[in-house]
Amino acid sequence: MGRPTDGTRWTNRQLLFHMVLGYGVVRTLLPLVRTLGRLGSSRRFAATLNAGRRPFHAINYVGPCLAARLIPPRVMTALLDAVIGSLQRALAAETERSLAWSMYMPTGWDPYFLPRMSVLDVYHFGTRHFDHYRRQLTLTPPPPSARS
């Protein structure tokens, strides 16, 4: 778990926490997108967040470095399961109308943030973010005898 990743400054363990955090971001963004989407006043909010992207990127890097030292892998797994379960339940309760609410996003924060994203796009963001970083993990596959 302490091996370096392919293409990031994180170790595998740090990157795994960042991947878990990505789904947490989705859970946090959903009410924001719904609210600002209804109000129609998200352009300035996104611009303000973009203006603060440097501190965001620093925190986004350091946070997983610290969390990987403090949070054991079994807790990360439980956290990921809880967040994904929460998102699955929330998605099942969405309506076509609620999935269409959208807001402007701080595109300087993440390469998968589109200039404007709907609630449905935000749900999809978590998986795109996860898949992107999964490719950068350098985990050794189990030996052939251990595979099922």
* pLDDT tens readout for residues 11-27: 999 999 999 999 999 99
pTM (predicted TM-score): 0.87
Write the DSSP string, the chain: --SBPSSSSSBHHHHHHHHHHHHHHHHHHHHHHHHHHHHT--HHHHHHHHHTHHHHHHHHHHHHHHHHHHS-HHHHHHHHHHHHHHHHHHHHH--HHHHH-EEE--TTT-TT--SEEEHHHHHHHHHHHHHHHHTT--PPPPPGGG--
Percentage of the chain beyond pLDDT 90 is 88
